[in-house]
Amino acid sequence: MLKKFEGIVIRSTDYSESNKIVTIYTREFGKLGMMARGAKKPNSRLAAVSQLFTYGYYLVQTGNGLGTLQQGEMISSMRGIREDIFKTAYASYIVDLLDKSVDDKQANPYLFELLSQTLNYMNEDTDLDILTHIFEMKMLPVLGLYPTLNQCAVCGSQEGKFGFSIRENGLICHRCFEKDPYHLPMSQASIRLLRLFYLLDINRLGAISVKPETKKELRTAISMYYDEYSGLHLKSKRFLDQLDRFKDLL
């Protein structure tokens, strides 16, 4: 059976001398894996459309096992991402996080739009750290994680100075700091951004400027939360962390 869909390549693995196994996240059908026969050959009509991050329309022959990619029509090559090592690292983490967080063949048009818009922004030079943190926060419900971000996770208060508690699964107010001696002190600007990233429609993202120290607080809190609750240990994230440490030295 032939299926046509709109999709983004989130994984591309060499298979034998000339083939690739490609994973595409689609608007219509969710995550699909397929064989791209001959795609490793430079003159193959599938060579360009099977590259990582490519956004396009695809036609696949489906069956009981792995489908076969028949043809593709490119919408965007995301060339700006692939030609920049930092963009490539951030985008690789984004698609890896999505890949490891969703099951095959579970359609989620909202998630497709989130992925598409995030990669578009990365391709267009929007702040990579901010885009990544927005994506991470929006992936939490997909993973079944719901941190308390609108009030204190202990007493329910919505007023006061807040920190972030991994143990209490969300914000913790100054009156309850003693409940978790290991809570993360955060500036109120960072607290507001955590809430914003969780709730923001990424299509409405405008110009945003965040101080380096605020970015560091956000990165620490989100990374620790993922380490504690997500069960994911991604090589792409470890590489990104190494790259961030390198950037901090520049």
Determine the Cα–Cα distance for residues 183 and 171; give it in Å rounded to an integer: 9
Neighbours of 202 (CB within 10 A): 18
Q: Is residue 209 part of a domain?
A: no
pLDDT of 6 strictly over 90: yes
In a domain, 195, yes or no: no
Span 106-133, mean pLDDT? 96
Q: What is the mean pLDDT of residues 54-59?
A: 98
Give a yes or no: residue 222 inside a domain: no
For helices 128-139 and 212-229, angle between their N-to-C axes, nearest 10 degrees: 30
Residue 197 belongs to some domain of the structure: no
* 164-187 confidence digits (pLDDT tens): 999 999 999 999 999 999 999 999
Report residue 248's pLDDT band, with 50, 70 and 90 as the boundaries: low
- Indicate left, alpha or beta for 172 from its phi (over 0: left) and psi (-120 to 50: alpha): beta
- Quick: pLDDT tens for 188-242: 999 999 999 999 899 888 888 899 999 999 999 999 999 999 999 999 999 998 8
Say if 114 falls within a structural domain. yes
DSSP codes joined into one string, 93-125 = HHHHHHHHHS-BT---HHHHHHHHHHHHHHHTT
User: Dihedral angle at the C-alpha atoms of 202, 203, 204, 210, nearest 10 degrees?
Assistant: 40
In which domain, by residue range, is 122 found?
2-143+230-249
Q: Tell me, what's the pLDDT at 42?
A: 86
Count of structural domains, the chain = 1
**What number of other Cβ atoms are within 10 A of residue 249's Cβ?**
5
Residue 31 falls inside a structural domain: yes
64-118 confidence digits (pLDDT tens) = 788 999 999 999 999 999 999 999 999 999 999 999 999 999 999 999 999 999 9
Q: What does the alpha-carbon distance between residue 33 and residue 58 come to, in Å, rounded to a whole number?
A: 12
Would 26 be classed as within a structural domain? Answer: yes
Give the whole-angstrom CA distance, residue 213 versus residue 14: 41
Look up the CATH number of the domain holding residue 112: 2.40.50.140
Q: Residue 70 falls within a domain, yes or no?
A: yes
Structure confidence at residue 243 (pLDDT): 86
* Adjacent-strand bridge partners of 32: 24
